[in-house]
Structure 1
Amino acid sequence: MLTILFWILFIALIIWLLSYWYIFLYIAIGYALYRLTRYVRKELYFKSDTFLEHKRNIDNAVKEYNELADYVNSFDEISLQSDSSERFKHAHLATYENTSSYNIDREKNIKNLTDKNVHQASLQVVKRASEEPLKYLCKYFNVKPTEENLAHVQEMGETVSRFTNAKENLDNRLLKIQKDFNPPEFITKYYLDELLQKLEINVPGMVFRSPDYIFEYVSSGGNSAQRTTITLDEPTLEGLSEYLSEQIKYKKSAKAQRSLMTKKLREFIKERDEYTCQICGVSTAEQSLLLLEVDHILPVSKGGLSTEDNLQTLCWKCNRSKSNKVVE
C-alpha cells in the first residue's frame, strides 16, 4: 500500500514539474548566459593591456630570480680540510659481530667509522667539545692555526654570507611578485590553472647545506651514546675565524685579510657608498631589492687589504664580472 502511494505521489510531482517546464528553460538559459559572459570576461582579461603588462613584469622578475638562483647554486659546498677519519679508513675491510650470549640489546648504538665528519671520542672529549667547540673542532678535525686555514675559513664565511644575503633577496623578490600581481577574483576562483599556465612561472629551488661536525661517544657494549654537534654555519665560521686569528701571530698578509671582512664592516661600506654600485651606478634607491656585495678594489690575491680605502660596493652582476681583476 505504501509503495503504491509513493509512486502515485512521485508521478504527480513529475507532472507538476513538467507543467512549469518554461521555468527550468529560463534557468538553463540564464546559467548558459552566465557561463558565456564569464568566459568572454576571462578571454578579454587575458588579452588586456593590464594582464599583458603584469605578465611582462613577472617574466622579467622571474628571469632575474632565476639568474640569481643559478648564481647562488654555483657556490661551492663548504667543508673543512680534515683527515680526522684516517684512523678508520680501512674499517670496511673487517666484519664485526657481537657474539654475546646475554639477553641484552647491545646494538642500540653503533659507531660511525666511515663519515669523515664524525670523530669517535671518549665521553670526556665529547663533553669538553660542547664547552669549547672551536678549540676541539680545530684540534680533532685537523684545522691547524695557519694563515692558509684562516683564509680557507674566511672564504667559506664569505660563501655562506653571500648565500644568506642572496637567499633573503630572492625571497623578497618572490614576495614582491606575489604582492604586485592581483588578478580579478573570478579569475583566481575559476581559471587559476589557466592563469598559472599563461604566466609560466618557474621558480627554481636552492640548496645550500652547512655541514655538521660531530664528536661521538659510543660505549663498548653499545648501550650508551652521547654526541656534540657543531654546525658550520655563519656564526660558527665567524667565531672560527676569530679563534684562528687569536691562535696565530696575526700579520697583515694577503692570506689573512679576509678575516677582517666582518658583517659590520660590509654594512659600513654599503652605507658609505650610499648603497650604490661603484661600477654601473645602480642603487637601492632605484631598485629596492638590488643585491649588493662588498668587493676588494685590489684583490686579496694580488696583495689587497681589507681596509676602507680598498673596499667598494658592487652589485652582484658587476662583482661577478670583475672577479679578481683590477678595474682601472
Structure 2
Amino acid sequence: MKSIWARLGWGKYLVYLYALIILSWLFDVNLFILILIIALVYGSVELFVFLYFKGGKFLAIKDGIDSHIQNCNDLNRHIEELKNSYFDFQNQSYGIAGMIDTSKYSFQRRELKKMHKSNQVYNCSLSICRNAANEPFKYLCKYFKIDINEDTLNKFGELLNNFSSAEEGKKILLKERKEILDSIENEIPRLIITYYKQRLIENLGFLQIDLSTSYFPTFTFQYVSSGGNSSMKSNIIFDIKNLNDFIQFINNKIDYINSSKGQRSLMTSILRTYIKERDKFMCRSCGNGIINEPNLLLEIDHIIPISRGGLTTLGNLQTLCWRCNRSKGSKIIV
C-alpha cells in the first residue's frame, strides 16, 4: 500500500513550496535567495554523489565484491524462472465480441466496465459466485475444467515446489544482499549509505528484487447484473497455503488405481521440509550445505522427473542446491 507521501503526487511539491515560504519568513530571508541556496547545496551534493560512483575508490570496492553480486543476480534470475513456471489451464473459449449500449436512455451501467474476459475469469450468475466463495476448490474444478486426477496432482505439486522455492529464495536473497552491503558499509561515505542507498545498490550492479506476490495465479468468478448496476467477484489466489490445501483436496478426491495411494507422497510444504531434514540440509549432488553456505537455497528435486514418469515418492525425491537443480533440468542424476 502506498504511503500518504507517495499518493500526494505533484501535490508534494506544493508542500515543499509552503515549507520554503515558512522558512523564509522564520529566518527573514528572501524566498528567491533561499531557493537559490537550497538549489546550490542540492546540486553540490548530487555532483558529489555522481563523481563518487564514477571514482576509482568506489569501482575498486565494486570489483572486490563483484563475484558475490553476480551470485546474487544469478539467484535472482533463478527465482524469476521459478515464478514463471505456472502452467495454464485453458478454459473454454467462445470467441471475442464487443458490446455497445444503444439504449435511448442515459443509463450509467458502471458495473459493466468491471467485466473482464480471460481464461482465468468465469462470468457467472450471482448464486455461482456466492457458492464459489463458500466452496472454492469444488467450483474451481467444475467451471475451469480442472480434472481431478494424478496428472493434476503432479502439476500442482510441482507448482507448489517451485513457488515455495521462490518465496524462500526471496528471503535468502535479501539477507545475502544485506550482508554484502554491511561488509562494505565502513568504506562507503555516510551520506551515500544514509540518503542514497538505493542508488548505491544499483551502481554496485545488483538486479532489482521483486518482492511482490502478484505472480500467484488467480482464478475469478465474476458476476455482473444484466442491467450493469451491481457486481460481485470471488477470487481464488493460489498462494502457498491455498496450493497446499488444493493438493490435499485433489488427493482426497482421486480414485487411486493399483494401490498407488500407498506408494505416493504428497508434495506439500511439510514433505519439502522432511526431505531437507532427511538429507541433512545438504545438496545430494555437490555436497554443499547450509553449514558451509548459510544463505544457500535448497530445493526438492524429482530424481526421475515427473515429465519422464517419475513419482512423488520418498525414494524419488532428493535435496539439491539451486545451482545443481538449475543445471540438472530434466536429466536423471542420482
Q: Which of the numbers 111, 116, 121 marks the counterpart of 1:118?
A: 121
Residue in 1 that maps onto 2:46: none
Alignment of 1:187-266 (within 5 A): 187-189=189-191, 196=200, 200-206=204-210, 209-251=215-257, 260-266=266-272
State the partner residue of 1:12.
none
Alpha carbons 1:134, 1:239 under 8 Å: kept? no
Provide Cα deviations, 1:168-216, integer angstroms capped at 9, x if missing partner: 221221122222222257x2337987x9499633323447612321111
In 1, the alpha carbon distance for the partners of 2:203 and 2:101 equals 60
Q: List runs of 5+ in structure 1 lacking aligned partners.
A: 1-41
SS in 1 for 2:227: coil
Q: Match of 1:65?
A: 72
Q: CA deviation at 1:109?
A: 3.4
Look up the match of 1:99: 103
**What per-residue deviation string (whole Å, max 9, x for no partner) do you get for residues 63-83 of structure 1?**
101111122222334244132
Residue deviations 1:286-317, cap 9 Å, x none?
Answer: 11101111223333344444333332221111
Q: Give the corresponding residue for 1:83.
A: 91
| TM-score (normalised: structure 2) | 0.71
- Structure 2: which 5+ runs fail to align? 1-51
Q: Does the Cα contact within 8 Å between 1:151 and 1:258 map onto a contact in 2?
A: no
- Backbone CA RMSD of aligned residues: 3.4
Aligned length: 275
Mapped partners of 1:83, 1:181: distance in 2: 52
Within a 5 Å distance, the mapping from 1:1-328 to structure 2 comes to 55=62, 58-75=65-82, 76-84=84-92, 86-87=93-94, 89-92=95-98, 95-101=99-105, 104-110=107-113, 112=115, 114-183=117-186, 187-189=189-191, 196=200, 200-206=204-210, 209-251=215-257, 260-327=266-333
Q: Secondary structure of 2:151's partner?
A: helix
Residues 154, 306 of structure 2: 8 Å contact kept: no
1:46 Cα deviation after fit: 6.6
Match of 2:8 in 1: none
Shift of 1:137: 0.8
Secondary structure class of the residue paired with 2:222: strand
Distance 1:297 1:108, change over 3 A: closer
Which one has a bigger Cα radius of gyration? Answer: 1
Taking only the aligned residue pairs, the percentage that are identical comes to: 32
State the shift of 1:241 in Å. 1.8
Quick one: distance in 1 between partners of 2:237 and 2:317?
30
The aligned amino acid for 1:123 is L
- Secondary structure of the corresponding residue to residue 202 of structure 1: coil
Which amino acid in 2 is paired with 1:118?
Answer: V
